[in-house]
Amino acid sequence: MAKQQQYHLLSGYIASIYRQSKAEFKKQTPMPGLSGTQSDIVMFLYDHPGLCQGQIADMMAVNPSLMARDVKALLDAELIHRQDNPADRRAKVIGLTPKGVSLAKKQISELNAWWSAFFEDEPGVNPQELYQELVSVNHRLLEQNRPKL
């Protein structure tokens, strides 16, 4: 258990785990021309259809201007499309193209296999408990950082 004066290390560990999982994943699934964030956006869109660009940026904690750059790259790669939002004409709903759906399914399957192998090698880590704790932390941080109206 980390002592309070070591809590700052948590961010470093979380970032390191993310980078290591992505590095291993990229060895198995090369994605020429796609950044890690763009790959994450494709998987996120598969799990969260019907969102606008701003909502995606908020939920993924990505800077909106960086999200715009990534959306453009994904549009150019024909992995996503934009369509009018019937609830707000100023906003566009972002969706996956058939090519994007195929890539998302492949990425999700391979990333799930990577994590499954990790948990098999680490029997002391309960994947369900870890998942629930990370979801809880993420939701709490998103709520704290959401602009107050």
Assess whether pLDDT exceeds 60 at residue 1: no
Number of structural domains the chain divides into:
1
Domain hosting residue 105, numbered range: 22-145
In a domain, 15, yes or no: no
> What pLDDT does 2 receive?
63
Amino acid in position 46: Y
pLDDT at 56: 94
Q: What is the mean pLDDT of residues 57-74?
A: 92
Residue 5 lies in a domain: no
- Does residue 6 lie within any of the structural domains? no
The domain that holds 135 is classified in CATH as 1.10.10.10
Alpha-carbon dihedral angle through residues 83, 88, 91, 93, given to the nearest 10 degrees: -40
pLDDT at site 138: 84
Identify whether 86 is part of a domain.
Answer: yes
More confident residue, 76 or 1: 76
Is there a domain that residue 17 lies in? no
Q: Is residue 13 part of a domain?
A: no
Sign, CA dihedral 14-103-32-116, equals positive
Q: Bigger pLDDT: 145 or 8?
A: 8
Determine the average pLDDT of the residues in 6-22.
84
Residue 63 has pLDDT above 70, yes or no: yes
Q: Evaluate if residue 84 carries a pLDDT over 90.
A: no
Within-domain flag for 84: yes
Residue 112 lies inside a defined structural domain of this protein:
yes
Q: How much is the average pLDDT of 14-37? A: 78
Report the C-alpha gap between 123 and 70 in whole angstroms: 37
The mean pLDDT value for 129-136 works out to 91
Cβ neighbours for 68, distance < 8 A, ≥ 6 positions apart = 53
